[in-house]
Structure 1
């Protein structure tokens, strides 16, 4: 069944944000919390960092806050009144025409279309007319409620699966700390070694040859996932055989982001096990090759990717005007509180069981995402 379409501004109040004067900002809770852009978004409701005593445009409780700059299309619910900054807009459906939850799911569905309207040299941004001119399929309110309820239930399944994955990650971290203590303060008194003495080969920064779509896969920062490398997104690079031997990845290697925009990302790391073809790294990442006779590679991975392990890297890393980085000499100079190999192996055995469970949840989440996407398409083309 097809439903009539209407311009969004005919059935929805759209409030474009406005930046308050800079001298009104504070971090002490005076005035209204400022939502300047997606950087102030939480999972579902805002996590603001600043306040303003000169709020101009404001949101109401129950309003949808839409990001209109850079990460166009991101959404949060307004759980109270906020000041809407320049990077966001507030949307509130007319109660006699448009259900807010239906609007939420519809905005999620058309986010790619909205992003395609973005313009700008420094960063993309959409205008009020870009938003107003969007055409929304408008079934009767009762049908909107029904569609929103189905999508809510499907989304809840996805969220529960995601929460299970996050809890398994927390369990991994908690198990590591329980067995070995904080690797920074070293409360269990493990012997301290410089990382250089625990590597089989010196840390290696990758090739500067740009990817051109041909040759062998090259791992960059963007392909580093939690534990796994996303090979489907890898570029390809043509390098000589001698250069490949410098930059290749072997089973048990760690790939570390070494040049990134945020200090908090320093320590983003993936573990390489195998791939069906040769793989190398580019210059924004670093290869670490632990000596398995001294340090279990998987144990070292969990150390570096833990919150405490990242502090070890951050304590050594430096910064330029545009990015945070860590070089080979600094990677060689890490202080590692090293438990015996037998204790490392016990942890790895436990971790592999948790990871197997996590992998099962990830596969289920992928199925939930496909189901949700299918339901979205059906919901907004009138076949749900």
Structure 2
């Protein structure tokens, strides 16, 4: 362990600190004024690099195995907040959360989703006097926070939402594993994380309402792209919370190699004894191939329609576009914002999803101030845009 520059117990214990999300979260925490940080991961060398390169040597490091309750208890002890950036999410579930709550810490997870939430509730920990927050990342996380912000920008009642989300960026082994696991788990009550081709129609789920497409055009994405309609459990909660009549959600794949692998995913999930490591390696290689000679980017495009506050009958149409070079960086930032809010006593006790307790206006403000991303709101409903691959990749929206 390396002594912290500030004496006393750490304010935030960061599990999974050596990964792309964890190192981004460490940087964001420091920018948010958190000086006392404990960094943890299984491989201590990676944590040492983050301590030196990201935190200028100011902090603590400790080896921790996120699958070992004894190791987790030792790591979490003394922390005011535990921020989990480790995975795979659907294998860890609520393991880290249980250890954090047991030592009296607030808990933030950049993922977690329904299985972790349900696990904590089943253990009787839903009524804890600490804040336990899941889905504090990009997707899940901003995927519900940004539409809530958009709904608050002059709508009396939002009625429809169309989302196009995806990008061309590296695919970590952890993310790849979660992708295939999400085909069978990750949603509420033991269901899959979501349903391909489904949509939200008339305030209810409608299976096979939409079609997947190749060589398609998506607003603000460099075309052609692959698109898969997908209705996740998070999107269903969002639709219910905002009272939306209709939601169309499209996962967008600008890279042909990743799109091809994603089309094979259902087959992998059905095969008994599927080697998750091999599937992850396939996705990792596909993402690397799509990136050859190209600049990484990630886009979230939300188009919303609804009625004005005075219900005058005139339809309001607005679009929000977020563009970043890395969804991993955004996830680290959102996790750090939630951890900072917990430190400040700004989160209610108990079990929550981040979109229900983080102020969307504050999140949007922090994204704009953090740099590295552009976030633009426009009036009018954007049905499509061909603005050129070079424009998107260089970030001039």
TM-score of the two chains, using structure 1 as the length reference: 0.24
TM-score of the two chains, using structure 2 as the length reference: 0.24
Larger radius of gyration: 1
Comparing both chains, which one has the higher relative contact order based on Cα–Cα distances under 8 Å and sequence gaps of 6 or more?
2
